[in-house]
């Protein structure tokens, strides 16, 4: 090899071959491998943080208490003397202990009902506890209620009735709205954090014509306590379900059009009950019902049976709603023993049914999954707990058939309740679904939402393969839970039992 040939090779290597200069200021490029698959786009509208927290409470409590408790009425006349209000043994701590034992984390009190009597010493009226003999006129039920709740970790809600049968300003629009707003400011400024404020349109047929400045009230509430949920027929945070039986529609969307709603309008009851798949507002429904026939305590009444309360639970919480259960204090200022016992039984019944997911040992299959086997959206996500709505199965966007997910058990499963939940943090999606056991359809329905409970019409079924088919959806369905339970109190071939033995 000649010297000239060697020089030519070295020249090519050092001068003609492209190179990359490496230095501290110009480090070599790092090859990063993307492994995480992003979540799918949300389907609007979406719940707020406060609405999500409210929904996951599932059951909250209402306390109707006031002069009606002592007159044996449901609607007072407004002419009652404050002197009749004298609950000798009032103990808000006992109310809250009852709530805690029932698994309740939010309790609402009637600060003022339609009779206009105020459970706090409002400086804008003498029709209040300040004019009663209770605590020698120095008492404040709201203060005792709030303090007892705080001591036990229970959040507080208040109801301030728009209809006031006592105040002389009622019927004079400007004067009464000023009065109402003043009392609203008292409640929201002086008693700490309030998580729900209750408004309604209840009014007798002979009541004076009155225009409520609801929008002004709502603006004031948001100004004073921005994290609060505002309840009314038309929201803006929570909507009424349209009846006082505690039952939602079999189809129940959290979405609805607020512009189609008006507080106190009886023509929108069906719309409130079902919601609207095309709704532009996230306005989930609250199902209010009383543990007794009346809302206020009456000596002649007794509480609902456990079977009746479970029926409400399945038709409220089990239909994408929240259950608001009224438990009225008696004339002594206490929750009656019969109600306390029934609430404990009801709580134990729910725990008995839902404490164990019978699908926990199943393998899970699906029609497809977003991002493939390592995408993080696999069907195994549905058999965990129901506390994390952000862990879910998501099928592949490009899949064109009906989406399905199967629970496969090595041994026969025996159950009579199916629980399905959506990842509602990304919107409500499912329009129609079906459940099959070993190829035989055992349940079907429309919406799912936060939670859908199917108590099987034929009772207990047995099988090894349980399939959920999504046959209609607003977008790719996102299922956070698919679970199986056994309800020992459900006997579809018999009438609801008044006597239920709790283990």
What is the residue-wise DSSP string for 254-293? Answer: SEE-GGG--TT-GGGHHHHHH--TT-SEE--EEEEEESSS
CATH no. for residue 462?
A: 2.60.120.260
Task: Among 332, 355, 378, give the residue marking a domain's end.
Answer: 355
Same domain, yes or no: 186 and 296? yes
Q: Has residue 17 been placed in a domain?
A: no
For residue 206 the two structure tokens come to 């002979």
Neighbouring CB atoms inside 10 A of 147's CB total: 17
Looking at the structure, tell me whether residues 301 and 370 fall in a common domain: no
- Same domain membership, residue 283 and residue 388: no
Alpha carbon of residue 275 to chain centroid: 15
Domain boundary among 326, 355, 384: 355
Q: Phi-psi bin for 366: left (phi > 0), alpha (psi -120 to 50), beta?
A: beta
**Residue ending a domain, choose from 337, 355, 373:** 355
Residue 180 lies in a domain: yes
- Does residue 268 sit within a domain? yes
Q: Are residues 470 and 423 in the same domain?
A: yes
| Tokens coding 16 | 């003609």
In a domain? residue 496: no
Per-10-residue mean pLDDT, the chain, length 503: 46 43 52 78 97 98 98 98 98 98 98 98 98 98 98 98 98 98 98 97 93 97 96 97 98 98 95 98 98 98 98 98 98 98 98 96 96 93 80 93 96 98 98 98 98 97 98 96 97 57 35
Q: Are residues 380 and 271 in the same domain?
A: no
DSSP secondary structure letter of residue 393 = B
CATH of the domain at 173: 3.20.20.80
- Is 288 in the same domain as 376? no
- Do 437 and 290 fall into the same domain? no
Question: 387 with 474, same domain?
Answer: yes
Tell whether 36 is covered by a domain.
no
Residue 33 located in a structural domain: no
Residues 218, 74, single domain; the answer is yes
Give a yes or no: residue 501 inside a domain.
no
| Helical spans, DSSP H, in 327-375 | 337-354
What sign for the dihedral angle of Cα 138, 142, 145, 149? negative
Q: Which domain holds residue 408?
A: 363-485
Q: Domain count for the chain, please give it.
A: 2
Q: Which of 248, 270, 269, 229 is nearest to 321 (CA)?
A: 248
338 with 439, same domain: the answer is no
Residue 7 lies in a domain: no
Same domain, 102 and 226: yes
Task: Note whether 351 and 448 are same-domain residues.
Answer: no
């Amino acid at each position: 090899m000649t010297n000239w040939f060697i020089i030519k090779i070295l020249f090519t290597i050092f001068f003609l071959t492209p190179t990359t200069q490496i230095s501290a200021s110009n480090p070599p490029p790092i090859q990063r491998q993307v492994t995480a698959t992003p979540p799918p786009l949300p389907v609007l509208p979406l719940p707020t943080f406060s609405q999500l927290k409210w929904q996951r409470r599932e059951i909250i409590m209402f306390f109707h208490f006031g002069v009606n408790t002592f007159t044996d009425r449901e609607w007072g006349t407004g002419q009652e003397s404050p002197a009749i209000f004298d609950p000798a043994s009032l103990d808000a701590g006992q109310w809250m202990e009852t709530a805690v034992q029932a698994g309740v984390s939010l309790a609402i009190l009637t600060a003022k009902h339609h009779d206009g009597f105020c459970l706090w010493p409002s400086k804008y009226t003498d029709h209040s506890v300040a004019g009663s003999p209770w605590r020698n006129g120095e008492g404040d039920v709201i203060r005792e209620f709030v303090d007892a709740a705080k001591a036990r970790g229970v959040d507080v809600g208040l109801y301030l009735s728009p209809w006031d049968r006592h105040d002389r300003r009622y019927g004079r629009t400007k004067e009464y709205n000023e009065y109402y707003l003043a009392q609203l400011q008292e409640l929201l400024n002086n008693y700490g954090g309030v998580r729900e404020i209750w408004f309604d349109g209840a009014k007798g047929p002979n009541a004076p014509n009155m225009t409520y400045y609801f929008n002004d009230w709502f603006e004031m509430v948001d100004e004073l306590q921005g994290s609060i949920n505002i309840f009314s027929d038309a929201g803006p945070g929570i909507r009424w379900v349209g009846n006082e039986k505690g039952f939602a529609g079999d189809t129940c969307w959290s979405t609805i059009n607020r512009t189609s709603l008006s507080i106190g309008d009886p023509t929108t009851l069906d719309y409130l009950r079902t919601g609207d798949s095309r709704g532009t507002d996230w306005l989930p429904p609250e199902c209010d019902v009383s543990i007794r026939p009346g809302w206020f305590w009456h000596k002649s009444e007794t509480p609902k049976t456990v079977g009746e309360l479970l029926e409400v639970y399945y038709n409220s919480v089990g239909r994408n709603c929240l259950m608001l259960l009224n438990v009225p204090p008696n004339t002594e200022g206490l929750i009656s023993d019969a109600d306390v016992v029934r609430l404990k039984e009801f709580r134990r019944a729910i725990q008995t049914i839902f404490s164990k997911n019978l699908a926990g040992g199943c393998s899970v299959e699906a029609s497809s999954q977003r991002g493939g086997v390592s995408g993080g959206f696999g069907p195994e996500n549905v058999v965990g707990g129901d506390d994390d709505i952000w862990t879910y199965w998501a099928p592949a966007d490009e899949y064109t058939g009906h989406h399905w997910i199967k629970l496969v058990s090595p041994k026969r499963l025996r159950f009579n309740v199916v629980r399905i939940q959506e990842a509602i943090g990304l919107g409500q999606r499912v329009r129609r679904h079906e459940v099959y056991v070993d190829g035989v359809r055992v349940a079907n329905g429309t919406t799912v939402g936060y939670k859908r409970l199917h108590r099987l019409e034929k009772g207990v079924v047995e099988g090894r393969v349980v399939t959920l088919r999504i046959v209609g959806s607003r977008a790719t369905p996102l299922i956070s839970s698919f679970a199986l339970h056994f309800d020992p109190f459900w006997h579809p071939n018999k009438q609801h039992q008044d006597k239920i033995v709790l283990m």
